[in-house]
Each structure stands twice: as structure tokens, then as C-alpha cells.
A = this chain, B = another copy of it.
Amino acid sequence: MSTPKIVILGAGYGGLMSAKGLQKELNYNEAEITLVSNHSYHYITTKLHEPAAGTSHHDHARIPVQSVINTKRVKFVQDRVTAIKTNEKAVHLESGKTLAYDYLVVGIGSAPETFGIKGLLENAFFIRNIDGVRVLREHMEYSFAKYQTEKKDDLITIVVGGCGFTGIEYVGELVDRMPSLCREYDIPLEKVRIVNVEAAPTVLPGFDKDLVDYAVKYLESKGVEFLLSTPIEECTEQGVMLKGGQEIKAATVVWTGGVRGNKMVEEAGIETMRGRVKVDEFLHAPGFDNVFILGDSSLVFPADGERPYPPTAQMATQQGQALAKNLSAKIRGREMKPFKYEAKGTVASLGSKEAIGMVGNRKLMGGSASFMKKIIDMRWLFLLGGISLVIRKGKF
């Protein structure tokens, strides 16, 4: 019998943790492991709001994949997946190549959920990957630069759609960035408008009210305008049209209003809900005992809950770790253990010095929450590359 082929799609949190776990668990003759990613680097999605606002360089939010995996054990292929063919047990790549698999681990991330808002994909920016946030940052800077020559207020108006985690964290970074940005382009700080628009009636829905109040008060004190219970009807080249007919003219519109599963999973003939796959306790795709789905494309439900856990880096990381153990067990003919998500707390940064968070039942705000956020960032670096990566990439 030949060595089983494991193909991992995506070098995000789930994919990388799977690869790192498998390279540790399995001997070289137990499996051929291949990791496929369209970028040569992993990007730290939970930090993308920083380079998006320009408060840190995008290189602080990416790590070369080959620097954190053992390339003798895991073969890295930089290519774009174009199709998953479950009937052929193969993956098709943009280069024209195909990769046969015995076991497939799918961690290819999400797509923006636009809720059918017209013009959003064409005219808004998204905080989703390095290339995208770099364009967003440059677009904002270019718009600010033009203010002195064109004197139009929309050039220095930023609309952020969505008051969820990404929206709030991005707005927090913008607030940090504005003083130096305005100095750079000779713009009076008070002329800048940052408007955070949300269809739901609250900021950070589901989060502790005291913490939300703290965050809103802090951001408002820095000039951020919140428009709650205000759906965006359309995004145009000029800005956004709100429900009720109000228009906000803004050169920069950033949509953070949610994600859905990657459509390639649906196209693979796997049953999905809004592009996401309700996986079983072993993270199997329904009906496939050799296909596993991790991260943003998976849906995991709590034992007692009706609403799935939100798709987070923490979830994907734990799934990757569990998958590596389970798949190793399966290959060795042992029993797999049901995956249980363990919520370790959630912290949302509000720029570099402020944050809010829940760790266990403890509410954190201000400096202590901000410190906790840095610890969480470092933990991921430690999981990826040990203490040396923490030292190289960590923000102290």
C-alpha cells in the first residue's frame, strides 16, 4: 500500500496549524503532506487592521510560510486552487497542475458577505489580505494628499461599514493614525470625518454592554461618528447611500460587515449554508470521510446553542490542532476524538493603547485589555515559530 497523500489547502490559521501538527505527529513514511497557498506568506488576519490604517507596516502582518514549516516534511506549493474535485480525489491549480489526495484539508478562508448591497464589491475596500490592505492604505493616503490641491471634503471622509470586530479595530487604528496623517498632508485634524455605519442597533453585537459603551465613548471622544440601525443601501464611486436616502460622500469606503464561505467549497458539491459547511465533530464535510473543513468555511455549533460560533482565528487554530491529531490517529487506525472549541477570551483593540476584552468572566478595558491583546498576538507567533518568531515579529 502506498503512503497516503494529505493535501492542505490554505496557509491561514487552520491550514498552517494542520501542517505543523501533522509534521510533528507523523513520521515521514506515514504520509506525504502538501500545503498549497496562493501566497508565499501566511498573513496574520487579526492584525490586518493595522497596515490597513497604516499604523504598522504590512510586513509585520505576514510571515513566509517556508520559515515556519519543516519543508523536508511538508511540501509547499505556491499556486491558486481553482477547483476541488471530490469525485477525482484531486485539486486543480491555476498553473494547470492537479494534486491527487487521499485526505483533503480545506482551509481556504472566506469571501466578503455583502448582503446584496449594490456596488460594494466594485467600490469598497476590504480588510482581507495583505494586497488588499496595502491598496486601501495607499488609496487613503493618495486621497488625503489630493485634499490640498482639490479641497474636497469627501477626500478626507472615511466610511467604515460594519461595527463588528474588524470594523471597530480598524476605526481604532484610524484614530491613532490621523494626527500623523494630517500632519503629513497639511490637513487640519478636525476636518477629517470617520463614520462607522452599522445596520444592527448596537456596536459589537453580543459583546458585554459595559465594554461596548467603553469602546464607543473612547472612539467618539476621538471624533468617530457612529450611525447605528442604519443599513447601507448602495456603495458608489462617490460614497454610500444610506437607507432613508441620506448620502455620505467619501473617497474611502471600507466594508467589514461580515464574511461568508469560499464558493469553491460549494462548487465542490459539498453541502453549505451561506457558503459555509456544517462539519461533524471530527470536522468532516458531510458525506465525506476524507475531506475536512477548517476555519472560515466551516460552521461549528456549540452543544447547546442554535447560533454557530463566529469564525475567528482562535477557532481555526484550535481546529487545525485537533485535525492534525485526529488525522494522524486515523492514518494509524486509531480512534479520532470529537473536536470541542474552547473559548479563551476575546479582545478587541482600539488602537495601540486601548482595548476591550472578555477573558473568562473578567472584563478588561484600557491598558490591561491592550496588554492582553498583545499577549494573544504573541501566542500565535509562538505557536507558529517559537520564541524566535515572537522576538522577531512581536510588538512590545
* A residues whose Cβ falls under 8 Å from a Cβ of B: 131-132, 134-135, 137-139, 141-142, 144-146, 148-149, 185-186
Contact = CB atoms under 8 A, between A and B. Distances in A.
- Nearest first, the 8 A-B pairs at minimum CB distance are A138-B145, A138-B142, A131-B148, A142-B142, A135-B145, A134-B145, A131-B149, A138-B141
Contacts of A148: 131, 134-135
Interface of A is mostly: helix
Nearest to A135: B145
Contacts of A137: 145
Integer count of this chain's copies in the complex: 2
Nearest to A149: B131
A150 to B, nearest CB: 9
13 contacts: A132-B149, A134-B145, A134-B148, A134-B185, A135-B142, A135-B145, A135-B148, A138-B138, A138-B144, A138-B146, A139-B145, A141-B141, A141-B142
A278 B144 CA distance: 40
Contacts of A135: 142, 145-146, 148-149
A144 B144 CA distance: 17
A144 B134 CA distance: 10
Given A134-B148, A137-B145, A139-B142, 17 more contacts: A131-B148, A131-B149, A132-B149, A134-B145, A134-B185, A135-B142, A135-B145, A135-B146, A135-B148, A135-B149, A138-B138, A138-B141, A138-B142, A138-B144, A138-B145, A141-B141, A142-B142
A132 B141 CA distance: 14
